[in-house]
Amino acid sequence: AVVLLIVLCRSSFPRYRYDLLMGLVWRRVLPILMGGFSCFIVAL
C-alpha cells in the first residue's frame, strides 16, 4: 500500500484524479478501520 502511494506520488497524475482516487480509497478503508477499532475496544 505504501509503495503504491509512493508510485502514485511520483507519477505525473493529474491532481484531481489523485484526489478522487484517495477519496475512493478512504471511503473503503475508513469503515473497515473504524469497525476494527470498535471491535478492539469491545474486546478490551
- pLDDT tens-place string over residues 15-40: 667 778 888 888 888 888 888 888 88
Q: What is the per-residue DSSP string for 1-44?
A: -HHHHHHHHHS---HHHHHHHHHHHHHHHHHHHHHHHHHHHHH-
CA end-to-end span of the chain: 28
Mean pLDDT of 4-21: 68
The whole-angstrom separation of Cα 40 and Cα 44 is 6
What pLDDT, on a 0 to 100 scale, did the predictor assign at position 8?
A: 63
Look at residue 27 in the predicted model and tell me its pLDDT: 87
Amino acid at 37: F
Q: What is the pLDDT of residue 2?
A: 75
Q: Using 50, 70 and 90 to split pLDDT, how confident is the model at 13? A: low
Task: Look up residue 36 and give its three cell numbers.
Answer: 476494527
Distance CA 32, CA 37 (A): 8
